């Protein structure tokens, strides 16, 4: 399967269970939910917790255009756009992870959004995760089995910046960079599925 197809497959792989909060990779569940149409999966039991409340695709619908655009830009061989979109997807999924941590603390949605908007840059976001959970995001990422992904993120960031500084050298980015960025995007989806599943405890700071 090409990297482009692999990335599109990722968009229909995972479902989020609103009972247990896990992100589920289960072909039978995916099939049952697809057959049920867009009824939000009510009454279809979660294979992990048995819960029958609604389920939603993971990553959520708002991410779909971003990943689809990545595939389109790779078909057009616009390497720089593929890199920028891959970086954006990683950062936006980190935002949604932050948002979920806050949500699990009963933080009102508007405030969570304001915070995730205002805490800019991956380093500031990592610090914020640490202040909320007491955990180092690098270690959290390693613990779910993604040893090299932050290095890949850094490579993409550097290549993007070099391109912007030396854009007149048209051959700077090559097909391999597109392939690398698409693989990184596939791994990004798997990484956040694992992080969402592992760090899902409800720890209200604010009484409802």
Q: Which two tokens stand for residue 202?
A: 């409800």
User: How many helices (H) and strands (E) are present in the chain, helices listed first?
Assistant: 9, 3
Minimum CB–partner distance for residue 33 and Zn ion (Å): 13
Stretches 12-20, 54-62, 132-140, 166-174: which one binds Zn ion (CB under 5 A)? 12-20
Task: Rule CB under 5 A: say whether 17 interacts with Zn ion.
Answer: yes
The residue (of 19 and 91) whose beta carbon lies closer to Zn ion is 19
User: Which of these ranges, 17-25, 56-64, 111-119, 164-172, lies near Zn ion under the rule CB under 5 A?
Assistant: 17-25
Measure the CA dihedral 136/139/140/142, to 10°: 160
Contact flag: residue 19 with Zn ion (CB under 5 A): yes
Nearer to Zn ion, 48 or 136 (CB): 48
Site for Zn ion in 44-73 (CB under 5 A): 46, 48-49, 51
Q: List the interface residues with Zn ion, window 28-47 (CB under 5 A).
A: 46
Determine which helix (DSSP H) or strand (DSSP E) holds 15, and give its type and residue range.
Answer: strand 14-17
Vertex 197: Cα angle to 191 and 200 (nearest 5): 125
Q: Which positions from 77 through 136 interact with Zn ion, judged by CB under 5 A?
A: none
- For residue 40, the minimal CB distance to Zn ion (Å) is 14
CB of 28 to Zn ion, least distance (A): 14
Q: How many chain residues touch Zn ion (CB under 5 A)? A: 7
**Residue 94 near residue 116, CB atoms below 8 Å:** no
| Spatial CB neighbours of 112, under 8 Å, sequence gap ≥ 6 | 98, 99, 102, 103
Which of 204, 94, 86, 88 has its CA nearest to residue 140?
A: 94
Q: Is 143 in the site for Zn ion (CB under 5 A)?
A: no
Q: Which two tokens stand for residue 139?
A: 């270690």
Which positions touch Zn ion (CB under 5 A)? 17, 19-20, 46, 48-49, 51
């Amino acid at each position: 399967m090409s990297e482009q197809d692999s990335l599109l497959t990722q968009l229909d792989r995972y479902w989020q269970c609103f009972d247990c909060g896990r992100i589920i990779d289960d072909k039978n569940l995916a099939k049952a939910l697809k057959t049920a149409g867009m009824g939000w999966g009510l009454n279809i039991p979660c294979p992990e917790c048995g819960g029958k409340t609604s389920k939603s695709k993971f990553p959520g619908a708002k991410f779909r255009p971003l990943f689809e655009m990545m595939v389109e830009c790779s078909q057009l061989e616009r390497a720089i756009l593929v890199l920028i979109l891959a970086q954006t997807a990683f950062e936006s999924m980190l935002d949604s992870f932050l948002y979920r941590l806050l949500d699990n603390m009963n933080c009102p949605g508007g405030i969570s959004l304001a915070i995730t908007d205002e805490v800019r840059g991956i380093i500031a976001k990592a610090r914020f995760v640490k202040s909320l959970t007491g955990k180092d995001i690098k270690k959290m990422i390693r613990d779910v089995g993604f040893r090299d992904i932050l290095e890949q993120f850094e490579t993409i960031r550097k290549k993007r910046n070099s391109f912007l500084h030396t854009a007149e050298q048209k051959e700077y980015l090559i097909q391999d960079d597109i392939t690398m960025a698409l693989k990184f995007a596939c791994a990004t989806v798997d990484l956040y599925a694992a992080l969402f599943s592992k760090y899902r405890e409800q720890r209200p700071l604010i009484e409802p």
